[in-house]
Homo-oligomer: A and B are copies of this chain.
Protein backbone atom coordinates (compact mmCIF):
# COMPACT_ATOMS: atom_id res chain seq x y z
CA UNK A 1 0.00 0.00 0.00
CA UNK A 2 3.05 2.30 -0.11
CA UNK A 3 2.44 4.73 -2.97
CA UNK A 4 4.73 7.54 -4.21
CA UNK A 5 2.80 10.12 -2.16
CA UNK A 6 2.53 8.01 0.98
CA UNK A 7 4.13 9.29 4.16
CA UNK A 8 5.97 6.57 6.09
CA UNK A 9 7.57 6.22 9.49
CA UNK A 10 9.89 3.97 11.48
CA UNK A 11 9.96 3.81 15.29
CA UNK A 12 13.04 3.00 17.38
CA UNK A 13 12.43 2.05 21.02
CA UNK A 14 15.65 2.26 23.04
CA UNK A 15 16.17 0.54 26.37
CA UNK A 16 17.46 -2.56 28.12
CA UNK A 17 14.41 -2.47 30.40
CA UNK A 18 12.10 -3.36 27.47
CA UNK A 19 14.33 -6.20 26.25
CA UNK A 20 14.71 -7.70 29.74
CA UNK A 21 10.93 -7.67 30.24
CA UNK A 22 11.22 -5.45 33.32
CA UNK A 23 9.19 -2.70 31.62
CA UNK A 24 6.35 -3.57 29.28
CA UNK A 25 6.36 -1.19 26.31
CA UNK A 26 3.28 0.91 25.61
CA UNK A 27 4.95 3.46 23.31
CA UNK A 28 4.70 1.24 20.21
CA UNK A 29 0.90 1.16 20.42
CA UNK A 30 0.69 4.91 21.19
CA UNK A 31 2.92 5.78 18.22
CA UNK A 32 0.97 3.42 15.95
CA UNK A 33 -2.32 5.10 16.90
CA UNK A 34 -0.75 8.56 16.47
CA UNK A 35 0.54 7.73 12.97
CA UNK A 36 -2.75 6.16 11.87
CA UNK A 37 -4.64 9.28 13.02
CA UNK A 38 -2.33 11.50 10.93
CA UNK A 39 -2.39 9.27 7.85
CA UNK A 40 1.27 8.30 8.36
CA UNK A 41 2.06 4.68 7.48
CA UNK A 42 4.14 3.21 10.34
CA UNK A 43 6.17 0.60 8.44
CA UNK A 44 8.62 -0.78 11.00
CA UNK A 45 9.51 -0.77 14.69
CA UNK A 46 12.82 -1.77 16.22
CA UNK A 47 13.70 -2.20 19.89
CA UNK A 48 17.42 -2.06 20.74
CA UNK A 49 19.44 -2.03 23.96
CA UNK A 50 21.39 0.85 25.52
CA UNK A 51 24.45 0.27 23.31
CA UNK A 52 25.66 3.15 21.16
CA UNK A 53 26.63 1.10 18.09
CA UNK A 54 23.25 -0.63 17.98
CA UNK A 55 21.38 2.68 18.28
CA UNK A 56 23.51 4.36 15.58
CA UNK A 57 23.01 1.44 13.16
CA UNK A 58 19.25 1.38 13.71
CA UNK A 59 18.87 5.16 13.30
CA UNK A 60 20.85 5.15 10.07
CA UNK A 61 18.88 2.19 8.67
CA UNK A 62 15.50 3.73 9.50
CA UNK A 63 16.19 7.34 8.50
CA UNK A 64 17.33 6.26 5.03
CA UNK A 65 14.16 4.27 4.52
CA UNK A 66 11.22 6.26 5.89
CA UNK A 67 9.81 9.79 5.73
CA UNK A 68 10.01 10.11 9.52
CA UNK A 69 11.83 8.32 12.32
CA UNK A 70 10.66 8.50 15.94
CA UNK A 71 12.78 7.35 18.86
CA UNK A 72 11.75 6.84 22.48
CA UNK A 73 13.98 6.41 25.51
CA UNK A 74 17.49 7.20 26.68
CA UNK A 75 17.39 11.00 27.03
CA UNK A 76 17.50 11.28 30.85
CA UNK A 77 20.34 12.38 33.14
CA UNK A 78 22.11 9.08 33.87
CA UNK A 79 25.10 7.32 32.30
CA UNK A 80 22.84 4.83 30.48
CA UNK A 81 21.03 7.68 28.66
CA UNK A 82 23.04 7.72 25.45
CA UNK A 83 20.46 8.41 22.75
CA UNK A 84 21.64 12.01 22.12
CA UNK A 85 25.24 10.76 21.79
CA UNK A 86 24.15 8.09 19.30
CA UNK A 87 22.06 10.51 17.22
CA UNK A 88 24.92 13.04 17.10
CA UNK A 89 27.24 10.27 15.93
CA UNK A 90 24.74 9.02 13.32
CA UNK A 91 24.53 12.55 11.87
CA UNK A 92 28.25 13.31 12.34
CA UNK A 93 27.64 16.46 14.39
CA UNK A 94 28.79 17.74 17.80
CA UNK A 95 26.72 17.47 20.99
CA UNK A 96 27.10 20.75 22.86
CA UNK A 97 25.01 22.10 25.74
CA UNK A 98 22.11 23.87 23.99
CA UNK A 99 21.40 27.32 25.46
CA UNK A 100 17.65 27.15 24.89
CA UNK A 101 17.38 23.65 26.38
CA UNK A 102 19.46 24.74 29.36
CA UNK A 103 17.21 27.77 29.91
CA UNK A 104 14.07 25.55 29.80
CA UNK A 105 15.58 23.18 32.34
CA UNK A 106 16.92 25.90 34.63
CA UNK A 107 13.52 27.63 34.71
CA UNK A 108 11.93 24.37 35.87
CA UNK A 109 14.74 23.63 38.35
CA UNK A 110 14.33 27.09 39.87
CA UNK A 111 10.60 26.47 40.43
CA UNK A 112 11.30 23.12 42.08
CA UNK A 113 14.46 24.17 43.99
CA UNK A 114 16.43 21.50 42.15
CA UNK A 115 20.23 21.68 42.26
CA UNK A 116 21.95 22.08 38.87
CA UNK A 117 24.63 19.41 38.49
CA UNK A 118 26.58 17.70 35.74
CA UNK A 119 24.18 14.74 35.48
CA UNK A 120 21.14 17.01 35.05
CA UNK A 121 22.96 19.15 32.48
CA UNK A 122 23.38 16.03 30.32
CA UNK A 123 19.72 16.61 29.41
CA UNK A 124 20.63 19.97 27.79
CA UNK A 125 23.10 18.33 25.39
CA UNK A 126 21.46 18.58 21.94
CA UNK A 127 23.04 17.65 18.59
CA UNK A 128 24.17 20.69 16.62
CA UNK A 129 21.54 21.84 14.14
CA UNK A 130 18.62 20.15 15.94
CA UNK A 131 15.33 21.84 16.87
CA UNK A 132 13.86 21.24 20.31
CA UNK A 133 10.63 19.34 21.00
CA UNK A 134 8.87 20.89 23.99
CA UNK A 135 8.28 18.67 27.04
CA UNK A 136 5.27 20.05 28.90
CA UNK A 137 5.55 17.40 31.64
CA UNK A 138 9.10 17.55 33.01
CA UNK A 139 10.78 20.31 30.93
CA UNK A 140 13.72 18.24 29.55
CA UNK A 141 13.18 18.65 25.80
CA UNK A 142 13.33 16.15 22.97
CA UNK A 143 14.72 17.22 19.62
CA UNK A 144 14.38 16.85 15.85
CA UNK A 145 17.36 16.60 13.52
CA UNK A 146 16.82 15.82 9.84
CA UNK A 147 13.86 13.44 9.74
CA UNK A 148 14.62 11.95 13.19
CA UNK A 149 12.45 12.90 16.19
CA UNK A 150 13.97 12.03 19.56
CA UNK A 151 11.54 11.64 22.46
CA UNK A 152 11.52 10.50 26.08
CA UNK A 153 10.74 6.90 27.04
CA UNK A 154 8.39 7.67 29.95
CA UNK A 155 4.99 7.15 28.27
CA UNK A 156 3.25 10.28 29.57
CA UNK A 157 6.16 12.47 28.40
CA UNK A 158 6.45 10.65 25.08
CA UNK A 159 2.77 11.27 24.35
CA UNK A 160 3.10 14.97 25.25
CA UNK A 161 6.03 15.23 22.82
CA UNK A 162 4.05 13.50 20.04
CA UNK A 163 1.29 16.07 20.52
CA UNK A 164 3.87 18.88 20.45
CA UNK A 165 5.37 17.77 17.16
CA UNK A 166 2.12 16.76 15.39
CA UNK A 167 1.65 20.20 13.73
CA UNK A 168 5.15 19.94 12.20
CA UNK A 169 4.45 16.62 10.42
CA UNK A 170 2.84 16.22 7.03
CA UNK A 171 0.15 13.54 6.99
CA UNK A 172 -0.51 11.21 4.13
CA UNK A 173 -3.87 10.33 2.70
CA UNK A 174 -5.88 9.18 5.66
CA UNK A 175 -6.44 5.43 5.63
CA UNK A 176 -10.04 4.47 6.39
CA UNK A 177 -11.09 1.10 7.74
CA UNK A 178 -14.19 -1.08 8.01
CA UNK A 179 -14.41 -3.97 10.46
CA UNK A 180 -16.73 -6.89 9.73
CA UNK A 181 -17.31 -9.40 12.53
CA UNK A 182 -18.06 -13.00 11.70
CA UNK A 183 -19.27 -15.97 13.72
CA UNK A 184 -17.19 -18.44 11.72
CA UNK A 185 -13.50 -19.38 11.87
CA UNK A 186 -10.72 -17.93 9.75
CA UNK A 187 -10.43 -21.21 7.86
CA UNK A 188 -14.03 -20.85 6.64
CA UNK A 189 -13.66 -17.34 5.21
CA UNK A 190 -9.99 -17.64 4.22
CA UNK A 191 -10.56 -18.97 0.70
CA UNK A 192 -13.27 -16.50 -0.50
CA UNK A 193 -11.53 -13.60 1.29
CA UNK A 194 -8.33 -14.34 -0.64
CA UNK A 195 -10.29 -14.16 -3.92
CA UNK A 196 -11.85 -10.81 -2.91
CA UNK A 197 -8.38 -9.51 -1.99
CA UNK A 198 -7.28 -10.31 -5.57
CA UNK A 199 -10.31 -8.42 -6.91
CA UNK A 200 -9.51 -5.36 -4.72
CA UNK A 201 -5.70 -4.96 -4.65
CA UNK A 202 -6.16 -1.34 -3.45
CA UNK A 203 -8.14 -2.41 -0.36
CA UNK A 204 -5.96 -4.26 2.14
CA UNK A 205 -7.87 -7.08 3.82
CA UNK A 206 -6.76 -8.51 7.15
CA UNK A 207 -8.22 -11.40 9.11
CA UNK A 208 -7.91 -11.65 12.90
CA UNK A 209 -9.14 -14.61 14.91
CA UNK A 210 -10.81 -13.83 18.24
CA UNK A 211 -10.15 -16.57 20.77
CA UNK A 212 -12.56 -17.75 23.43
CA UNK A 213 -15.82 -15.92 22.81
CA UNK A 214 -18.90 -16.80 24.87
CA UNK A 215 -20.18 -19.57 22.61
CA UNK A 216 -16.83 -21.32 22.67
CA UNK A 217 -16.57 -20.96 18.89
CA UNK A 218 -13.76 -18.99 17.32
CA UNK A 219 -15.00 -15.90 15.51
CA UNK A 220 -13.05 -13.76 13.12
CA UNK A 221 -12.80 -10.03 12.55
CA UNK A 222 -12.13 -8.96 8.99
CA UNK A 223 -10.58 -5.51 8.65
CA UNK A 224 -10.59 -3.68 5.30
CA UNK A 225 -8.34 -0.65 4.87
CA UNK A 226 -8.07 1.84 2.02
CA UNK A 227 -7.58 5.56 1.47
CA UNK A 228 -10.35 5.46 -1.18
CA UNK A 229 -13.78 5.53 0.51
CA UNK A 230 -15.65 4.43 -2.63
CA UNK A 231 -13.49 1.37 -3.27
CA UNK A 232 -13.55 0.57 0.47
CA UNK A 233 -17.36 0.49 0.49
CA UNK A 234 -17.50 -1.56 -2.73
CA UNK A 235 -15.18 -4.11 -1.16
CA UNK A 236 -17.09 -4.06 2.14
CA UNK A 237 -20.39 -4.85 0.34
CA UNK A 238 -18.83 -7.92 -1.27
CA UNK A 239 -17.11 -9.10 1.91
CA UNK A 240 -20.37 -8.72 3.87
CA UNK A 241 -22.22 -10.79 1.25
CA UNK A 242 -19.52 -13.47 1.44
CA UNK A 243 -19.74 -13.52 5.26
CA UNK A 244 -23.56 -13.71 5.18
CA UNK A 245 -23.31 -16.77 2.97
CA UNK A 246 -20.74 -18.36 5.28
CA UNK A 247 -23.11 -17.79 8.21
CA UNK A 248 -26.03 -19.36 6.33
CA UNK A 249 -23.93 -22.38 5.36
CA UNK A 250 -22.79 -22.84 8.96
CA UNK A 251 -26.31 -22.30 10.33
CA UNK A 252 -25.16 -19.50 12.67
CA UNK A 253 -26.31 -15.92 13.10
CA UNK A 254 -24.02 -12.95 12.57
CA UNK A 255 -22.54 -11.38 15.70
CA UNK A 256 -23.43 -7.78 16.61
CA UNK A 257 -21.43 -5.44 14.40
Contact = CB atoms under 8 A, between A and B. Distances in A.
Nearest to A222: B78
A98 interface: no
A18 interface: yes
A167 interface: no
Interface string A162-186: 0000000000000101000000011
B47 A119 contact: no
A24 B157 CA distance: 19
Given A36-B21, A154-B211, A119 B50 contact: no
Interface in A1-31: 13, 16-26, 28-29
B45 A21 contact: no
A213 interface: no
- How many protomers of this protein does the assembly include? 2
Given A32-B19, A36-B20, A205-B79, A190 B45 contact: no
A43 B32 contact: no
A35 interface: yes
A240 interface: no
Contact of A187 (B25, B29, B77, B80): B77
A194 interface: yes
A112 B160 CA distance: 49
B194 A79 contact: yes
Given A79-B193, A187-B114, A32 B42 contact: no
A247 interface: no
A54 interface: yes
B76 A207 contact: yes
A198 to B, nearest CB: 8
Given A18-B28, A44-B47, A79-B190, 10 more contacts: A16-B204, A17-B206, A19-B32, A24-B29, A43-B49, A45-B46, A78-B189, A78-B190, A117-B188, A117-B190
